Structure 1
Amino acid sequence: MPLPPVPAISARRAPLKHPGGRLRGLCALMAGLGLLGGLALPARAQEAAPSAPAASAAAAAPTRSALDGVLFYQVLVSELELRAGNPALAYQVMMEAAKRSRDEALYRRAVDIALGAQAGEQAAEALRQWRQALPQSRQAAEIDTQMLVALGRFADARKALESFIELTPEAERPAAIASLPRLVLAGAKPQDTARMLDETLAVWRSRPATLASAQIATAAAWLTAGERERALGYVRQASRRDPADPTPALLALELMKDTPAAEEIVRAHLASPMPAPAVRAGYVRRLSTAQRYGEALREARALTRAAPEMGNGWLMQGALEIEAGEPAPARVSLQRYLDLRSVATPPLVRPQTSGEDEDDGSSEAGDLLRRGDEQELLQAFLMLAQASEQLRDYAAAQTWLERAAELQPQDSATVLSRRASLLMRQGRLDEARALLQRLPQDTPEQQRARLLTETQLLRDARQWQAAHELLAQATARLPDDADLLYEQALLAEKLRRYDEMETLLRRVITLRPEQQHAYNALGYSLAERGQRLPEARELIARALALTPGDPYITDSLGWVEFRMGRAEEAARLLRQAYGQRPDVEIGAHLGEVLWSMGRRDEARQVWRESRERDAGNEVLIETLERLKVKP
């Protein structure tokens, strides 16, 4: 949109007659507006300033671009007109000032005024005149490139971009090239922008000094444009050139989300002599997201060995150790995290002593909060409470929950839930259920969350009938709530009401055909009971297609293969699942398959590992008793 025409302004162009005190006052005003950056004051104004020595005034003699009276007046008028809501006049006066002074800052200001007024034609004209007046201006070439990309004029944008790179000093060129992928975000056609960057950077990918940055910039541009396979190709080239360079590996981590082949690039970097801790930390997160918890834990431990001062590494390691059923190592890892954050902590085992003065660490916690780590600290406290609870160190668990409550003074749903779980583990189930009544219930979502929390509490206490009755009341009111129906189905199975379980799960599948858990639960239940095994396998395969690589569903598929007499395939699948997630029930299944194949020592080893994680697991106990095995 062009700016409207403006009247002649020649009458406003007379220079100031008295640039002394008034000029200093106006200079102060303009400095406050940020309008004097990069502009030299005229000599007479400097002489008038009481703090400026004569030598400084002489040294700052006006040049062609100096801010003389006329130029000063033009800049001031332009800014005042802009503030008064007259961008057309502000633009015209600023352009006259820029052409008269050939000052880069004034050309840039004119472009900004036009862009602020959404006057694309004037902005383009200001840039054209800027580049004509100052052909060696790198800033003008950069802004020109950005504008042309935004306008979709890619042929012209490429010329401007080539000029920008050529005008960049050689030492700064790699960094400038590395910054180019941001252009992709600015354009309406990201694929065309990425292609233009790719073609422009071809020559720079052939020069040793810019090879690395040009490869990475091209890869990042295609990644930003959503062309992941093209991005992967350039990332591979960069990685093969120098596997120790962390930049290709960091891009590969982004690609790993839906391009599995990128993982080999990450692994290549981690195999280099000094891999970057940031790459390994990112890899741990990717593996965790993919539920490959066993691998994630191994990488987390490698990270803390290589970078023991990296607090987040210990936090991730502790979380994964809890996931793996290793609460004692988890507690050590999480306390190491708090030590690195300088947060006071209670001892690992805290005896209850009447009248004991406790250091609650509130000042350290407050300091951590001020550093913006509230959520991390809260999670560390909650995980320490969970680990202590699993170790039956209930006093320490209560202490950690109190520390968590310091960060969330209101009745946090998470803290209350953990407190209820702690009471339940101490046999105080009625108190635990009463505590859950304090959970917020103002909205249907909050009521539903409280119901599911109480149900889980009853499940953990093996109160199957009470939990089933609670859910039955809820599903009577909400017959189409798939989550509640699914939970009720699992409880029906615990009560051996298999027909009811199947009816409920098929209802869930009807309501949510993409819900993989319902297919898996029904298929596993059939396999466990040795019924309709081909149908069970089909259901589980459907679940795995919805969530490829899920270790629990892979376990189910391995179990149904075993029930169908295919022990070798079952062992392969169960090894895969156990490697991803060394869960006790998966270990029980894997051990049984190995035992049936005559691999007794290997089976005993898996069972021993599983018993160390949870000796009270029902599936493991039943398996060992049925096979009459003592690992």
Structure 2
Amino acid sequence: MLQAAAHLRSVFPHTRRRSGWLAKLACTVALSVGTAQPLLAQSGPTLHFPAAPDTLSAELFYQLLLAEFQLQNQDPGAAYSLMLDAAKRTQRPELYRRAVEIALQNRAGNAALTAARDWSAAFPDADEPYRYELQILLALNRPADVSRTLRNLIRLTPAERRSEVISAIPQTLARTSDRDAALAAARDALQPALRDPATAAAAWAAIGRMELERAAPQAALAAARSALQAQGNSAYGAALAVELFEREVPGAEPLVQAYLQRTAGTAVEHRSTIHLAYIRALIDLRRLADAQHELEQLLTLEPDQAQAWLLQGILLTQQRRATAAEAALERYLELSRELPPDEARPGQTQAFLHLAQIAEQRGDFDAANAWLDRIENADDILSAQIRRATILARQGHIEQARELIRRQPERTDADTRRKLLAEAHLLREVKAYEAAYETFTAAAQRFPDDPDLIYEQALAAERTGRFETMEALLRDLIARHPDYHHAYNALGYSLADRNERLEEAKSLIQKALAVAPNDAHILDSLGWVEFRLGNKQEALRILQDAFRRLPDAEIAAHLGEVHWALGQQDAALNVWREGLLLNPENETLLNTLQRLRVQP
């Protein structure tokens, strides 16, 4: 810095009498040169550049100063040319960087790309110019040109981190509009990685994710299969297979199951993470019995796996197995003390909420509130207060419960949405259907582009006997969101339950099932419409499958009625009893027993 100032005085002896902006420019020049190497050292692995002189020649310093002057004087083109010329003559990386930055600051993308490529040509074993190249190419939306850049970035990454960098490629290229060009470039860049046994699995998984983004699930499945063939215990290939399974791509689940069987009892890194992801996917797909089985398998292999105990507790709570659920959740809380606080807190909140729910179901409202008192983080207070409102409502204090929800702060639109939904669900739970409909309607008006809210509004309309309104809302939802399968199912089930337009009802439900073939609720609707059509044996087969996938009180109501209609009274009573254990307050089940005058 001192040497740079001495050069300045020798070239411009009158500098001291000039205003402060020139001194500021001199500092800019000196700092851009003097601090470059430490910043590079911080940004990644050590880079080795050709030796550069410790001081600037008077001629070079003048050129750099002139470049900065031209930039201040609103002539970025001249500034860029001077800086790039200086970089080429001196082969100093910090000057190439400054040329790139000048071009970027002035939105001259092609000029920035030229400077970055000149930089990488001068320093082919430095990763920074290639990182700039990649960012510029993506900003220019030129995914077809990134292949060489990606290949060099992979080459320059240390071997132990190479798979990690490869796995980030799909996300890096996700913002490009031409997904086909991005995939072609990535495939070309990954050819060396595909031939290397150490990186082949990560490379195939990256290709598979990009195939999935361009809506080619079968090609993504083939890539996942190749990843697992290249490395049987690859977390990259297995994670892609789980993602495909979650999207219900046929053939994905056997890949996941084979991976889990192959790695069972081994110390394969990330195995438990893959297993947990598979279990969560099963839960999302409402295959609760299968999820329960997988949890038991995982806990047998890893009895101290905290997240598995949390999922176990949540599943058991849903099944109303209170004692076992409490034991699982308390075991999670014990194990979570060893987790990092940021990782433990969301799970602990879930555990406290479910323990409060169990106490509430027992009628022990003091214990429920005591569990909620243990939720202290500000981000989780809304969840706790919504649970408190439910407790108040169950005690008959409906208006107090609504007021508790309403006075919670709203920091985001998401908070507003949660509050409206919580109030509406609370009103529906206490059978205040008219008020629930009004609240769902207010929520749908507040967020008119949210299909879930319109769906909830339609279901609430049905509860109040507004069948025409329900149908209009659902048909409008189908027109706006043709892939929203819940709307097809809800309309089909409503028609079947009212014994109206049964062939149309069946067609609607089949459309929903085509999108989600393993959804137990949709299978329940199909079984019910078959029963209404008089196809009792087919109804029995479908409803038994649905109840196996998802033990649920409403499915039990329908399955039991089919058994009863077939003269299988013992089987009907057994199913109904099981349904009452699952949920003794289920309205469909209670109405079925009352209508058939049955005491199970």
TM-score range with shorter-chain normalisation?
0.7 to 0.9
Q: Which has the larger radius of gyration?
A: 1
264, 269, 272: which one aligns with 2:262? 272
Report the counterpart of residue 35 of structure 1 in structure 2: 36
The Cα offsets for residues 339-389 of structure 1, whole Å up to 9 and x where unpaired, read as 23339xxxxxxxxxxxxxxxxxxxx9xx95xx3866554443322211211
Q: Indicate yes or no: 2:372 matched with 1:401.
A: yes
Report 1:50-89 matches (<5 A). 64-70=51-57, 73=61, 77=65, 84=72, 87-88=76-77
Q: Tell me the CA shift for residue 416 of structure 1.
A: 4.7
Q: Which moved more, 1:384-393 or 1:67-76?
A: 67-76
Q: Tell me the CA shift for residue 413 of structure 1.
A: 6.3
Q: Indicate yes or no: 2:195 matched with 1:206.
A: yes
Q: Tell me the CA shift for residue 136 of structure 1.
A: 4.9
Report 1:133-532 matches (<5 A). 133-137=122-126, 139-140=128-129, 143-144=132-133, 147-148=136-137, 151=140, 157-159=146-148, 161-162=150-151, 174=163, 177-181=166-170, 184-185=173-174, 187-202=176-191, 204-258=193-247, 260-261=249-250, 262-274=252-264, 276-342=271-337, 368=341, 371=342, 376-404=347-375, 406-407=376-377, 414-425=383-394, 428-429=395-396, 431-440=397-406, 457=426, 460-461=429-430, 467-468=432-433, 470=435, 483-484=456-457, 486-492=459-465, 502-509=467-474, 512-513=477-478, 524=493, 527=496
Q: Indicate yes or no: 2:524 matched with 1:551.
A: no
Q: Tell me the CA shift for residue 192 of structure 1.
A: 0.6
Q: Which moved more, 1:468-477 or 1:483-492?
A: 468-477
Q: Which amino acid aligns with 1:37?
A: P
Q: Which moved more, 1:329-338 or 1:537-546?
A: 537-546
Q: Which amino acid aligns with 1:30?
A: L
Secondary structure (helix, strand or coil) at the match of 1:260 reads coil
The Cα offsets for residues 173-208 of structure 1, whole Å up to 9 and x where unpaired, read as 555544544552464533212112213433542343
Report the counterpart of residue 49 of structure 1 in structure 2: none
Q: Tell me the CA shift for residue 248 of structure 1.
A: 1.0
Q: Tell me the CA shift for residue 27 of structure 1.
A: 12
The CA distance in 2 between the partners of 1:421 and 1:232, in whole Å, is 44
**Aligned pair in 2 of structure 1 residues 28, 383: CA closer, same or farther (>3 Å)?**
farther
**Aligned pair in 2 of structure 1 residues 107, 324: CA closer, same or farther (>3 Å)?**
same
Flag structure 1 segments of 5+ consecutive residues without an equivalent: 1-10, 41-61, 344-363, 493-500
The CA distance in 2 between the partners of 1:39 and 1:403, in whole Å, is 46
Q: Which amino acid aligns with 1:398?
A: N
Report 1:71-110 matches (<5 A). 73=61, 77=65, 84=72, 87-88=76-77, 91-92=80-81, 94-110=83-99
Q: Tell me the CA shift for residue 221 of structure 1.
A: 3.7
**Aligned pair in 2 of structure 1 residues 570, 243: CA closer, same or farther (>3 Å)?**
farther
The Cα offsets for residues 391-443 of structure 1, whole Å up to 9 and x where unpaired, read as 23322112123334x44599x76545433432444xx42x3333423442899
The Cα offsets for residues 482-510 of structure 1, whole Å up to 9 and x where unpaired, read as 85564243244xxxxxxxx5445344445
Q: Tell me the CA shift for residue 577 of structure 1.
A: 2.0
The CA distance in 2 between the partners of 1:484 and 1:39, in whole Å, is 56
The CA distance in 1 between the partners of 2:441 and 2:248, in whole Å, is 44
Q: Of Structure 1 and Structure 2, which has the larger fraction of its residues in helix?
A: 2
Q: Indicate yes or no: 2:583 matched with 1:614.
A: yes
Say whether the 8 Å CA contact 2:474–2:491 is kept in structure 1.
Answer: no
Secondary structure (helix, strand or coil) at the match of 1:65 reads coil
CA RMSD after TM alignment:
5.0
**Aligned pair in 2 of structure 1 residues 89, 315: CA closer, same or farther (>3 Å)?**
farther
TM-score by length of 2: 0.73
Q: Tell me the CA shift for residue 210 of structure 1.
A: 4.0
The Cα offsets for residues 130-149 of structure 1, whole Å up to 9 and x where unpaired, read as 34544555554564465456
Q: Tell me the CA shift for residue 247 of structure 1.
A: 0.8
**Aligned pair in 2 of structure 1 residues 79, 338: CA closer, same or farther (>3 Å)?**
farther
Say whether the 8 Å CA contact 1:184–1:225 is kept in structure 2.
Answer: no
The Cα offsets for residues 95-130 of structure 1, whole Å up to 9 and x where unpaired, read as 355334433344334333333333334334434443
Secondary structure (helix, strand or coil) at the match of 1:67 reads coil
Q: Which moved more, 1:72-81 or 1:565-574?
A: 72-81
**Aligned pair in 2 of structure 1 residues 529, 408: CA closer, same or farther (>3 Å)?**
same
**Aligned pair in 2 of structure 1 residues 113, 190: CA closer, same or farther (>3 Å)?**
farther
The CA distance in 1 between the partners of 2:403 and 2:111, in whole Å, is 65
Report the counterpart of residue 111 of structure 1 in structure 2: 100
Q: Which moved more, 1:604-613 or 1:286-295?
A: 604-613
**Aligned pair in 2 of structure 1 residues 538, 83: CA closer, same or farther (>3 Å)?**
same
Q: Tell me the CA shift for residue 282 of structure 1.
A: 1.8
Q: Which amino acid aligns with 2:460?
A: E
TM-score by length of 1: 0.70
The CA distance in 1 between the partners of 2:50 and 2:162, in whole Å, is 31
Report the counterpart of residue 53 of structure 1 in structure 2: none
Secondary structure (helix, strand or coil) at the match of 1:249 reads helix
Flag structure 2 segments of 5+ consecutive residues without an equivalent: 1-6, 14-22, 42-48, 446-453
Aligned residues: 553
Secondary structure (helix, strand or coil) at the match of 1:561 reads helix
**Aligned pair in 2 of structure 1 residues 542, 306: CA closer, same or farther (>3 Å)?**
same
Q: Which amino acid aligns with 1:568?
A: Q
Q: Which moved more, 1:444-453 or 1:380-389?
A: 444-453
Q: Quick one: percent identity of the two aligned structures?
A: 33
The CA distance in 2 between the partners of 1:145 and 1:459, in whole Å, is 53
